[in-house]
Amino acid sequence: TPVIGVLALQGDVREHLIALAAADAVARPVRRPEELAEVDGLVVPGGESTTISKLAVLFGVMEPLRARVRDGMPVYGTCAGMIMIADKILDPRSGQETIGGIDMIVRRNAFGRQNESFEAAVDVKGVAGDPVEGVFIRAPWVESVGAGAEVLAEHEGHIVAVRQGNALATSFHPELTGDHRVHALFVDMVRANGAPESL
């Protein structure tokens, strides 16, 4: 059974832990480099990307995160987490950094303010059956992707799900619905990747 961490600095960590467990992974919170070393894959949750960025630096886990992602550890980011695993932010706040992992440019808060949050049916490539119920909360969209990145979903002409190798990102929050198919897709990616060399 794959062991999957959820970066637990800020954001909706608990919801991801529950969704991962429902998708047959062993899920645990990750805050420190020692904890990161023990997981086969990692989810970066929704929340506030500037806060997550600053706390990652403060906890000394930013560089270890970059190193693991560079080494091919599967990573899945939702919303703020999507921003965290983008190689580039169009409009970063001062001091805001990313882990990187997907060759894409993201626009923060692209779909509007908190009170413009919405739900929409989204067809996600690789997720069989009905469309996924997309929950968009001050969500980013993807302005553009590089040649190595595959667009998995769009909403009203804007890119909202992307995969590049072992990295997966969605603008929306599958962890807030009862539907665990996107988490199951990620668990499959982790399973296919196998355990890290060091274990």
Residues of this chain that bind ligand GLN (CB under 6 A) = 46-49, 79-80, 83, 108-109, 137-138
Output 137 or 185, the one with its CB closest to ligand GLN. Answer: 137
Paired with 7 in beta bridges are 30
Question: For this structure, is 180 an active site residue?
Answer: no
Positive or negative torsion for Cα 99, 104, 105, 109: negative
**Which residue do the tokens 């990295």 mark?**
167
Output 36 or 110, the one with its CB closest to ligand GLN. Answer: 110
Q: Determine whether the annotation assigns residue 48 to a binding site.
A: yes
Question: For this structure, is 197 an active site residue?
Answer: no
Alpha carbon distance 114, 62 (integer Å): 27
DSSP-derived secondary structure for 108-152: TTTT--GGG-EEEEE--TT--SSPEEEEESS--EEEEE-TT-EEE
Q: Determine whether the annotation assigns residue 108 to a binding site.
A: yes
Question: For this structure, is 63 an active site residue?
Answer: no
Output 30 or 44, the one with its CB closest to ligand GLN. Answer: 44
- Distance of closest approach, residue 167 Cβ to ligand GLN, in angstroms: 17
Backbone angles phi, psi at 152, to 5 degrees: -100, -25
- Distance of closest approach, residue 39 Cβ to ligand GLN, in angstroms: 21
Annotated binding residues for L-glutamine: 47-49, 108, 137-138
